[in-house]
């Protein structure tokens, strides 16, 4: 599955790295692509291993808001 999440508060390379690392540590996530200009994150994941809620939680734990 692929999902695009709207993430508020990402402004720099550190933000991009924090979100990418948080998501890649989750079992079932195969690809993360952060788009700072658009404020979005594309995630390829296995829905049998990780839920959208877990993806959002991982981002929120880094201090960002997910719509």
Distance from C-alpha of 8 to C-alpha of 11, rounded to nearest angstrom: 9
Q: Where are the domains of the chain?
A: 1-64
Q: Is 10 exposed, middle or buried (0-12, 13-18, 19+ CB in 10 A)?
A: buried
Q: Tell me if the pTM is above 0.85.
A: yes
Q: In this predicted structure, what is the pLDDT of residue 23?
A: 98
Residue 48's pLDDT band, with cuts at 50, 70 and 90, is very high
Distance from C-alpha of 64 to C-alpha of 20, rounded to nearest angstrom: 12
* CB half-sphere exposure, 32, CA atoms < 13 A: 20
Residue 39's pLDDT band, with cuts at 50, 70 and 90, is very high
The H or E element containing residue 51 is none
Architecture of domain 1-64: 2-Layer Sandwich (3.30)
């Amino acid at each position: 599955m692929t999902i695009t999440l709207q993430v508020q508060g990402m402004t720099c390379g550190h933000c991009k790295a924090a979100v990418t690392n948080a998501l890649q540590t989750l079992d079932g996530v195969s690809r993360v692509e952060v788009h700072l200009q658009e404020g979005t994150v594309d995630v390829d994941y296995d829905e049998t291993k990780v839920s959208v809620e877990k993806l959002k939680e991982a981002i929120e734990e880094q201090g960002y808001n997910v719509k």
